[in-house]
């Protein structure tokens, strides 16, 4: 009889563990907001004493879709609208190259202890950015050149990484805060644009910010 009781208890424990694991797997949907600093990194501009680059603060926001194939690991796909560009001073005037993108990162995600109230979480993967608009404004936000789409490539490719903390609010709902960084590997500028001199260094998009996300898991 004792053997049967122990076997029953073992089976019950296994069933509970299996159900708990399954509860952490499956699809999820979330909303995200990203206060961020953006940069247009260009070696020639950095070395030019006439150009004084300024801190450029803006934001991104959008939706996130995920699938966990284990309780801790999964994949995710975001669709984000990102306000980007670079402010600078040149010859006493403040200008802002505004370049906005729809960014689509595809990433591997990992959460160390998803069942706990607070847990480490991180992600890393490639990212495609689709340029939506580009213009130049002055320090007061007035348009200097309203349509500068031709100055920039329509798409760039790079990578994204993030690390932070997940807060489990309920069985299905969680809040995450991550330090987020992305960087493009391809030139943001269109080299054929008439005012770019031959041999100009490549320009690379970069952002660094805090990603705040609210996620609902379909468990």
Angstrom distance (rounded) from CA 78 to CA 29: 10
pLDDT for 125: 98
Region for residue 191 given its phi and psi (left: phi exceeds 0; alpha: psi -120 to 50; beta: otherwise): alpha
Which region among 75-89, 136-150, 181-195 has the lowest average model confidence (pLDDT)?
136-150
Residue 172 has pLDDT above 90, yes or no: yes
Structure tokens at 42: 């260009």
Residue 132 has pLDDT above 60, yes or no: yes
Region for residue 148 given its phi and psi (left: phi exceeds 0; alpha: psi -120 to 50; beta: otherwise): alpha
pLDDT for 8: 42
* N- to C-terminal Cα separation, the chain: 37
Q: Which domains does the chain have, with CATH numbers?
A: 26-217 (2.40.160.20)
Handedness of CA 17, 170, 217, 70 (dihedral sign): negative
Structure tokens at 153: 């490539």
Name the residue among 32, 165, 25, 202 with its Cα closest to residue 105: 32
**Structural contact between residues 178 and 163, judged by C-beta atoms closer than 8 angstroms:** yes
* 92 three-class SS: coil
Residue 5 has pLDDT above 60, yes or no: no
């Amino acid at each position: 009889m004792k053997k049967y009781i122990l076997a029953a208890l073992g089976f019950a424990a296994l069933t509970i563990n299996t159900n708990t694991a399954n509860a952490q797997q499956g699809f999820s949907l979330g909303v995200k907001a990203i206060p961020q600093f953006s940069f247009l990194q260009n070696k020639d501009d950095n070395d030019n004493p006439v150009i004084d680059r300024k801190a450029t603060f803006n934001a991104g926001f959008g939706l996130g879709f995920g699938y966990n194939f284990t309780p801790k690991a999964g994949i995710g796909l975001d669709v984000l609208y990102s306000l980007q560009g670079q402010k600078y001073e040149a010859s006493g005037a403040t200008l802002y190259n505004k370049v906005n993108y729809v960014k689509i990162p595809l990433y591997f995600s990992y959460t160390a202890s998803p069942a706990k109230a607070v847990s480490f979480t991180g992600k890393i993967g490639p990212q495609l950015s689709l340029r939506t608009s580009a213009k130049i404004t002055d320090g007061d936000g007035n348009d200097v050149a309203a349509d500068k789409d031709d100055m920039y490539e329509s798409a760039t490719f790079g990578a994204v990484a993030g690390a932070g903390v997940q807060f489990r609010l309920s069985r299905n709902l969680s809040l995450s805060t991550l330090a987020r960084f992305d960087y493009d590997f391809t030139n943001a500028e269109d080299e054929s644009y008439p005012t770019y001199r031959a041999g100009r260094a490549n320009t690379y998009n970069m952002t660094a910010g805090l990603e705040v996300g609210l996620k609902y898991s379909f468990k």
